[in-house]
């Protein structure tokens, strides 16, 4: 176990693309024309269905994407993502970063989407509190906002947290901080979550209404197999969904050879458009019609 703890930072480091490679990729600053959305860029790979129940898309098939021009009267859904490993927040080669950009560009003010490096949890936490303090200002103050964290605004907060690898662990840690503030979270999504030192991302705090876990169990670096609710009466675990890439691989452009050699399944799930399509559908299900 001690040896694995020592290896994890190394494996996460090699899973991140080299700067010299990612700089020339479409979608990164200075990389030329912007690439198409993540889901449009790759073809979904065939996967093994989880033993616990149907794939989430069956329950979400009725969720229709919202037009980008739609502007709703209630405050925007706050969606905060966390990148895995040592990934930069503007590195669009990574699925979690591409999703944040896609949400921001497609749904405008309906969804407030941001992504942070997983070591910048404090910055993300402060940004969430700022956004919650400004929420519902149009309805309560005639359009003015003083940014105060009132109890009314806390209860009305509409927050989704997600992440990959260490980012998934950070998403749970931020949910736990918000619990201490009395701020509810609608949904937490973990994609092949790897626990950060001293943090327990396997237990979802009671302020989270729903949580879901996508993971793969192959290779040297793999995600947590199961998450559970601290209070099952307060939190619904939508499922722990296992994926495998043994029979059908996912393209991982921009990653160095040693990432593909040592942590291939871990980066395949990060680049699997089927996973991120499901995450997007779950997020859209939290947008109040």
pLDDT tens sequence across 162-201: 999 999 999 999 999 999 999 999 999 999 999 888 778 8
Q: How far apart are CA 124 and CA 255, in angstroms?
A: 26
CA 173, chain centre distance (Å): 13
Cα 76–79–82 angle (5° rounding)?
160
Q: Is 149 a residue whose pLDDT tops 60?
A: yes
Confidence band (pLDDT; 50, 70, 90) for 109? confident
Instruction: From 187, 188, 249, 251, select the one nearest 216 (Cα to Cα).
Output: 249
Q: Which residues contact 255 (CB under 8 A, 6 or more apart)?
A: 15, 17, 21, 93, 267
Note the pLDDT of residue 53: 44
Confidence band (pLDDT; 50, 70, 90) for 120? very high
Note the pLDDT of residue 147: 58
* Share of residues in the chain with pLDDT > 70 (%): 67
Note the pLDDT of residue 248: 85
Note the pLDDT of residue 233: 98
């Amino acid at each position: 176990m001690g040896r694995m703890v020592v290896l994890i930072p190394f494996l996460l480091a090699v899973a991140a693309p080299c700067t010299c490679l990612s700089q020339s990729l479409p979608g990164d600053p200075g990389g030329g024309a912007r690439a198409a959305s993540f889901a449009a860029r790759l073809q979904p790979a065939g996967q093994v269905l989880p033993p616990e129940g149907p794939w989430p898309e069956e329950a979400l098939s009725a969720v229709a994407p919202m037009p980008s021009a739609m502007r709703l009267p209630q405050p925007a859904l706050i969606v905060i993502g966390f990148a895995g490993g040592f990934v930069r927040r503007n590195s669009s080669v990574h699925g979690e970063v591409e999703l944040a950009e896609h949400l921001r560009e497609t749904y405008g003010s309906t969804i407030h989407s941001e992504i942070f490096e997983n070591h910048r949890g404090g910055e993300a936490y402060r940004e969430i509190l700022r956004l919650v303090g400004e929420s519902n200002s149009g309805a309560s103050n005639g359009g003015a906002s003083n940014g105060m964290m009132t109890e009314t605004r806390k209860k009305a907060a509409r927050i989704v947290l997600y992440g990959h690898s260490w980012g998934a662990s950070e998403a749970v840690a931020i949910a736990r901080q918000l619990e201490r503030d009395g701020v509810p979270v609608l949904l937490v999504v973990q994609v092949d979550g790897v626990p950060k030192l001293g943090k327990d991302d396997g237990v979802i705090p009671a302020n989270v209404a729903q949580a879901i876990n996508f993971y793969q169990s192959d290779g040297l670096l793999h995600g947590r197999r199961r998450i559970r609710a601290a209070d099952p009466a307060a939190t619904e675990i939508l499922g722990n969904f296992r994926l495998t890439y043994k029979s059908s691989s996912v393209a991982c452009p921009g990653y160095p050879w040693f990432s593909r050699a040592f942590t291939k399944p871990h980066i395949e799930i990060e680049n699997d458009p089927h996973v991120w399509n499901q995450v997007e559908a779950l997020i859209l299900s939290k947008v109040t019609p």
